[in-house]
Amino acid sequence: MVVVMQGAENNLVSRVYGNGRGWAFSRKDFKDLGEGSTIGWNLMQLEDSGTIRRVLRGVYDYPRYSELLQAQLSPDIDSVAQALARKFGWRIQPGGEMALHLIGLSTQVPAKAIYLSDGPKRSYTIGQTSLVFRHATLKEAGFKHRESGLIVQALRALGQERIDDTVKVKIRAWLPERLRARVRKDTQRATGWVHEVIVEITNE
């Protein structure tokens, strides 16, 4: 259903549509559009119309839809994690198994999606998936580029003995060329062998 609104309400809807299906968000993502109570009311109206869906208390998504199944798909766990991080002001980094999935080295979404965070320890249940935030030092969660942390966590999850040319080629294909030098520099403080592998992946 398409919802027609005016002014700030229309800007809110445009932002939801503009981020595409699968995007998860909270009221905080619209704080520049008006008062919190007004934004909350608008979100409630969009939920009632079926345009958005409540995933957790205070967190919604613009559901992905399967034409084949003729049904909404499960929430994007990574997008929900990012929405929670923005809502609470955390810096987060997907843990090893989730990093492998996001890079494309694993096709399965982990039953327990673990994220490192500089915020408190928290856990949520989203459908059949447990979303867990584990407190970590800023060194572990504080890379400048999200891609850096994903690669570091994925390599650690695999372990040095399981990293072969196939893995390196897949990561290199996933990492945009414009970010390769930046990621190489960004990960200098990573464990010795991890950074050595990243140098191999990112060198021209």
Which pLDDT band holds residue 138 (cuts at 50, 70, 90)?
A: low
With 0-12 / 13-18 / 19 or more C-beta atoms within 10 angstroms meaning exposed / middle / buried, residue 120 is exposed
Q: Which two tokens stand for residue 156?
A: 């650690």
Give the list of residues 6+ apart from residue 51 with CB closer than 8 angstroms, or none. Answer: 1, 2, 3, 13, 16, 62
C-alpha of 73 from chain center: 17
Look up the CATH number of domain 7-66: 1.10.10
Query: Is 0.85 surpassed by the pTM of this model?
Result: yes
Q: What is the pLDDT of residue 1?
A: 41
- The string of pLDDT tens digits covering residues 2-19 is 443 455 678 899 999 999
Q: For 85-97, how does the pLDDT look when each residue is reduced to its tens digit (9 = 90+)?
A: 999 999 999 999 9
> What pLDDT shows up at residue 69?
86
Which residues on adjacent β-strands are paired with residue 113?
131
Delimit the domains of the chain by residue range.
7-66, 90-202
Task: Give the per-residue pLDDT at 36.
Answer: 83
Kindly state the average pLDDT of the residues 56-84. Answer: 94
Question: Confidence band (pLDDT; 50, 70, 90) for 140?
Answer: low
Rounded distance between C-alpha atoms, residue 91 and residue 111, angstroms = 22
Q: What is the mean pLDDT of the chain?
A: 91
3-state secondary structure of 124: strand
pLDDT tens per residue, range 184-199: 999 988 888 999 999 9
* pLDDT > 90 fraction of the chain, expressed in percent and rounded: 75
- The string of pLDDT tens digits covering residues 11-52 is 899 999 999 999 999 999 999 998 888 899 999 999 999 999
